[in-house]
Amino acid sequence: MTVQQALRIVDEDEAGIDKAFKRDVLKGLSEPQKAVPARWFYDERGSQLFEDITRLPEYYPTRAEKEILRAHSGDFRAAIGPGRAVVEFGSGSSAKTPLLLRAIDPSAYVPIDISGEFLRASADRLAEKLPDLPIHPVEADFTRRVTMPAEIDGTARLGFFPGSTIGNMVPRTAVDMLREMRATLEAGSPAGTPPLLLIGMDRIKSRKVLIPAYDDAQGVTAAFNLNLITRINRELEGTMPVDAFRHQAVWNDDIARVEMHLEAQRDIIFTVCEREFTMAAGDTIHTENSHKYGRRSAAALLLAGGWTPLERWNDHDSRFMMILAEASPLRSAP
Ligand code: AVI
C-alpha cells in the first residue's frame, strides 16, 4: 500500500460548519438571482450521485472522454513521456485515471479532491490496481493554489483535469483557476521542464443531445441537484422544503452553456444559519453552469490562463475533446 494520509485543510468554525460553504450559500441566496456555486454539490452523496450520472445513457461526456483516453494512449505516451508526477485536479472516483497512468508510466500520482472520504476510498482502490505507483492524496479546493507533497519536489509534472469540470466555471473563474493550477504545478518543478496540462472539454452541440444529458429520464441529475438542498439543511441548519423545488436544465445559447436551476414550485420562506429567505413560485436558485466549447474558444481560454495548447484529440462523434497544453513562457513578445 503506497497511499498516504490525506492532508486535511477544510476550514471549520467552532460548530463544525464549513466556513466557505456557509459564506457562499448565504451570499448566493441573498442575490437577486439566487445562486450557489456548483462545487458544493460534492458531499459524499453528491459525489456518489455524480458517479451514477456518468453511467447514464444520456450522459455522453464520460464515455466520450474514456474513448479518447483509450484510443490515443500511444499519442499521450509520445507527447508526455514517462516519469512525470500526475496531479489530478478534482479527482473524484479517479475512474479514468488508470487509462492515463497506464499509458504514460508516471513516477507518482497526486489526486486532489474536496471530498476527503471519497478521495481516500478512491486512492485505496487505485493503489490496488497500480500497487507500485506512489500515491499522495491531498484533500483541498483545487481552484486555489495547493501545496504539493514534498515527495514530488523536483519531479516534472502533468496536471490532469478531465471531465470538462472547467466547464462548470464562468470564464473569469476558469482563467483564475488555470493560473492557480499553473502556479501549483510550477512550484517545485525542475528548471527547464515546464508543467503540462491534459484537460477535457465538452464541445458545443445540439440541444437535443445536451438537454437530456442534464435532465435524464431516470431523474438522477434531478436528485443530484436537489441533494444540494439536503446538504444545506443538514450542514447549515437549513429549513428549505426539498419537496417545493424542481430540477431544471436549460441551454443558454448566447454563452454556450447548460444551466441547472432549482425552481420553487410555490411561494416559500426558509432559514439558513438563522437567516431568513423568501422565494416566489417560479423563482430559481442557479446551481450550475456547464460551458461547452469550440476549438477556438477552448484555445482562447487556455491561453488566457497561461497555457499554450499543443495537441487536441476528439472522440469519434466529436462530442468531447482533450487538449494537451504547456505552461506558456512569460514573455513580452506578441
Ligand atoms: C462535473 N461536471 C463536469 C459535470 C457537467 O457535466 O457539467 C457535472 C454535472 N452536472 C450535471 N450533470 C453532470
Give the DSSP letter string of 28-90. HHHSSSEE--GGGG-SHHHHHHHHHHHTSSS--HHHHHHHHHHHTHHHHHHHH-SSPEEEEET
212 and 165 inside one domain: no
Contacts (Cβ under 8 Å, ≥6 apart) of 220: 49, 52, 53, 56
Cross-strand pairs, 309 = 325
Decide: residue 172, CB within 10 A, 0-12 exposed, 13-18 middle, 19+ buried. Answer: exposed
Number of structural domains found in the chain:
2
* Residue 333 belongs to a domain: no
Q: What pLDDT is stored for residue 119 in this prediction?
A: 84
Cα-Cα-Cα-Cα dihedral sign, residues 131, 137, 143, 147: negative
Rounded CA separation 160/163 (Å): 10
* Residue 7 belongs to a domain: no
146 and 241 inside one domain: no
Q: Residue 139 maps to which CATH number? A: 3.40.50.150
Q: Which domain holds residue 114?
A: 60-205+293-327
* Residue 5 belongs to a domain: no
99 and 172 inside one domain: yes
Contacts (Cβ under 8 Å, ≥6 apart) of 16: none
* Residue 1 belongs to a domain: no
181 and 260 inside one domain: no
Residues with CB under 6 A from ligand 1: 53, 61, 163-165, 167-168, 214, 221, 288, 290
195 and 71 inside one domain: yes
- What pTM was estimated for this model as a whole? 0.91
189 alpha carbon – ligand 1 mean position (Å):
31
Q: What pLDDT is stored for residue 217 in this prediction?
A: 98
- DSSP secondary structure letter of residue 256: T
Q: What pLDDT is stored for residue 42 in this prediction?
A: 86
Contacts (Cβ under 8 Å, ≥6 apart) of 121: none
| Cell numbers given for 328 | 506558456
Contacts (Cβ under 8 Å, ≥6 apart) of 14: none
Residue with cell 478534482: 90
40 and 50 inside one domain: yes
Task: Please check whether residue 294 is in contact with residue 318, taking contact to mean a CB–CB distance below 8 angstroms.
Answer: no
Rounded CA separation 57/225 (Å): 18
* Residue 175 belongs to a domain: yes
Mean pLDDT by 10-residue block, N- to C-terminus, for the chain (334 residues)?
42 83 98 95 91 96 96 97 95 80 96 82 90 94 93 98 94 96 96 97 98 98 98 98 98 98 98 98 98 97 97 98 92 67
286 and 249 inside one domain: yes
266 and 136 inside one domain: no
Q: What pLDDT is stored for residue 13 in this prediction?
A: 79
Instruction: Report CA 41 to chain centroid distance, whole Å.
Output: 11
303 and 162 inside one domain: yes
139 and 25 inside one domain: no
Rounded CA separation 89/97 (Å): 11
* Residue 3 belongs to a domain: no
Kindly give the residue spans of alpha helices, DSSP state H, lying in the chain: 19-30, 44-54, 61-71, 73-80, 97-104, 116-129, 171-186, 207-214, 220-235, 295-304
49, 166, 214, 247, best to mutate for ligand 1 pocket (most atoms within 8 Å of CB)? 214
Q: What pLDDT is stored for residue 113 in this prediction?
A: 87
131 and 99 inside one domain: yes
167 alpha carbon – ligand 1 mean position (Å):
8
- Which amino acid residue places its CA nearest to atom 12 of ligand 1? 214
- Which amino acid residue places its CA nearest to atom 3 of ligand 1? 165
